[in-house]
Amino acid sequence: MPKRLQTYFAILTVIFATTGALLTGMLVLVNAFGPVPVFWMATSGTLITFSVSLVIGYYIAEPLKDLHGKEQALLRGEPDAEVAPDGRLYEADLLAHDFATLFKKSKSQFGDLYIQQKRQTKFISDVAHELRTPLTAIHGSAETMLDPDMPPEMRARFCQTIMSESERLTRLANDLLTLQHIEDGTDSATLERIDLHRVANEVADALEPLIDERGGTIEVIGEAPDVLGNPDRLYQVVYNLAANACRFIGQEGHVVIRLEGFADRSIVSVVDDGPGFGDIDPKLLFTRFYRGDNSRARTTGGSGLGLAIAKSIVDAHDGTIEAYNVPRGGACFSVSLPSVH
């Protein structure tokens, strides 16, 4: 029998039993002593009814009182506090279950908000740090150039510093906007069927000047099934990964963009023969502004957001991205995307 019916039947049983006992008692009194004055009958009935009401009230109120106490203990943050149905009253059990569910959900949401707030605070701190460095360089160069006796060649050098740091600020601002649009879902995405081999070749051609500076080579090998996605964003992913590899290879280094297909997945891997990641946890590489070496992004012109942007784009395409050291030396970034046939 459902608990709710059990509760109702228990109350009705008490009421009927009390009424029956009251009527029986009156009949006994009438038979034994004759007609009983109406006053005494009414008084007896009132007292009995009041007593029964107290019993029923206690039966209903006590579980609710205990539930209220447990809820207050939870709100006070007592570690051993717990709200759970105890089986005494069906309605109280429903309230306990609903409150426990609501409390767990609220606690989870509060935890998520706390984590999000910490991330935002760290993000603002990181952005402030990234902005301070080029602004300091620009301010120092401009202040130095106020010297009217500065030689022309030195003035030209400080002008170049101002230009390069200004360009860095522009890249940082653009990358921040891109990352924000992707993560907010406000990025205007046009989904198309994309030939990954064509994308990889376009990236390799675009990076030829950078790789030539180091006397290295870049090549595309393999084939992979087409994917459905935003062509500009997926190009950005492959470009960011390959450009990162090109910046950290040694003289006459080699970068490979490898395409593969497995079942319903298309794999794009960027492999280089550089120094690899060392003891760095590869998962940290996709964190905003993370650098194993604080000087790397400045010496290579990066904003510290390229890999974070790549991960956000891949996530938006229901893909995965990972990084690992190559056993023979070097590093590998591997992107897996759902393929279309």
- SS3 readout for 224-283: CCCEEECHHHHHHHHHHHHHHHHHHCCCCCEEEEEEEEECCEEEEEEEECCCCCCCCCHH
Cα–Cα nearest to 254, from 237, 239, 271, 240: 271
- pLDDT over 90, % of the chain: 16
**Angstrom distances, CA of residue 10 to CA of 55, 63, 248, 315:** 12, 15, 79, 57
Residues 242-271 have a mean pLDDT of: 89
Integer Cα distance of 315 and 337 in angstroms: 9
Is the pLDDT assigned to residue 248 strictly greater than 60? yes
Cα–Cα nearest to 311, from 338, 292, 334: 334
pTM of the model: 0.58
Integer Cα distance of 65 and 49 in angstroms: 23
Q: Which residues pair with 323 in a beta bridge?
A: 333
pLDDT digits (tens, 9 = 90+) for 184-233: 666 666 788 999 999 999 999 998 888 888 888 999 999 999 999 888 88
| 8-state DSSP, 185 | T
Is the pLDDT assigned to residue 235 strictly greater than 80? yes
Residues 17-38 have a mean pLDDT of: 58
pLDDT digits (tens, 9 = 90+) for 273-324: 888 887 888 888 888 777 555 333 333 445 567 788 888 889 888 999 999 8
The answer to whether domain 192-338 has CATH 3.30.565.10 is yes
Integer Cα distance of 151 and 159 in angstroms: 12
Q: What is the domain partition of the chain in residue ranges?
A: 3-82, 109-184, 192-338
Pick the CATH number of 109-184 from 1.10.287.130, 3.40.50.300, 3.30.70.1150, 3.40.50.2300: 1.10.287.130
Is the pLDDT assigned to residue 251 strictly greater than 90? no
